[in-house]
Chain A
């Protein structure tokens, strides 16, 4: 878990920019080589008490030092083994509140670092992952000794990685976080400023940290300046952090009026039928002996809770940002630790991006999942998106390691009739018999159960080896 089948032994594709060290994989384990160039800062991280303050409060992923041969012995100081992240996610897959929590975490870590005589040397959103329902900082080598009067070198990166996307999601369109798939080092501030024109209102923080900041970038882009003569006192630096935090806290988004946000208030089932379906899913999860679940089309996570209540880590994917937002907020307030909601469009999932397509892993590359759940999904793929059942079966075969819990929704169902109401029915092969026939080359059907008060059938299938 946390690596995906695209990773091989050796230095991982995303870890090469920082000369302080890098992450590598060996014999299924994930390690970080700390280079000699980072020795002083690494030792200071501990001697200052910062590591204990961060890891002890769940803000930084903890690690232990291990005695294994380094990947590159000539440059190695130590090898550490960090606690594994259950599932790697990327900022362009986060809902608004996940993004905001990640931004506020980064700033509070910078504050704490300054209190201990250190500072963050970078502020990329890719330094944050979600573990047990909360954002956690994962890059132990991001800290360096704070030198009095030196400005914060990560300020630009913070504005591009956190402030600009959040401002665009809040003020323009919630889907604009997708720009981070195109701009891997954060959204350029001149672009953000252009898109936010007329939308910043009286928000002085946004006008300053995005608008004026963009103009300053343009003004000085070709002007040589002796940076060694530029000073920022610690008080000023704390004020800058405080200003950024206030600006971020003021950004909000209300998840209403989207296509799927209120799905569970308008379903096909009676309350009893809904509960019976939930019990059926629970029985299938037990029978499959699931260890790690992907719930596709999870909406607000009603059925994601089934494996989660059994202590099984579940990644809940949905295309609707409002549904994921509601799901995350509910999990956060109930301190749910076994569900990670994410935004993914299955018809155009996150690709592999970055240098040599290897910095950020694709959606499928982070699988396969031990168990995949696909409830009330197949008709959206087949009917709304014209995907042939054979291709759908092939897709599930690629992402499913052991078991598949899938619901077939026939044309008699009112949801499918609604989908076909305004279009020609060009789906003669969309039948239960064809569905079973197309899945048969990849899966063995262990059990099929009719869902009460509906025409739907729930299947438990096992992946053929």
Chain B
């Protein structure tokens, strides 16, 4: 995920906007702060732990679209239902 981001920035001769976006993504993922350690008896696996955060970029886009679509469909349905009354 990180290497994909880096290569995409290189190939496109990054604008200030895309560089800022990359920085933002890194900041979101690797924000500094004190957090409670994972209270797990199983080993989450370092690679899996990191990857699960990185993959949510893809998952998040799809989920956001799905959530937005459902909200839109519900709003339209309420509107049509309201108009029929």
Chain A residues packing against B (C-beta within 8 Å): 17-20, 121-122, 144, 147, 149-157, 159, 204, 208-209, 212-213, 216-221, 223, 225, 227-232, 235-240, 242-243, 246
| Complex-state Cα separation, A152 to B45, whole angstroms | 11
Q: Which B residues lie within 8 Å of A147 (CB)?
A: 35-36, 39
Q: Is residue B11 within 8 Å, beta carbon to beta carbon, of the partner chain?
A: no
> Are A217 and B48 interface neighbours, CB within 8 A?
yes
| A242/B62 contact (C-beta < 8 A), A122-B42, A228-B37, A231-B28 known | yes
Q: Which B residues lie within 8 Å of A223 (CB)?
A: 46
> Are A216 and B54 interface neighbours, CB within 8 A?
yes
> Are A154 and B42 interface neighbours, CB within 8 A?
yes
Q: Which A residues lie within 8 Å of B42 (CB)?
A: 17, 121-122, 153-154, 157
User: Could you tell me the dominant secondary structure of chain A's interface residues?
Assistant: helix
> Are B47 and A219 interface neighbours, CB within 8 A?
yes
> Are B59 and A242 interface neighbours, CB within 8 A?
yes
Interface size class of B (residues with CB under 8 A): 35 or more
| Complex-state Cα separation, A23 to B31, whole angstroms | 40
Q: Which B residues lie within 8 Å of A217 (CB)?
A: 45, 47-48, 51
> Are A243 and B59 interface neighbours, CB within 8 A?
yes
Interface string of B56-75 (1 = CB under 8 A from A): 10111011101000000000
Q: From A225, which residue of chain B is reached at the shortest CB distance?
A: B46
Q: Which B residues lie within 8 Å of A220 (CB)?
A: 46-47, 50
Q: Which B residues lie within 8 Å of A227 (CB)?
A: 37-38, 44, 46, 49
Could you give 17 example pairs across A and B, Cβ below 8 Å?
A17-B41, A17-B42, A19-B41, A122-B40, A151-B44, A212-B1, A213-B47, A217-B47, A220-B50, A229-B35, A230-B50, A231-B29, A239-B59, A240-B52, A240-B55, A242-B66, A243-B58
> Are B41 and A239 interface neighbours, CB within 8 A?
no
Q: From B54, which residue of chain A is reached at the shortest CB distance?
A: A216
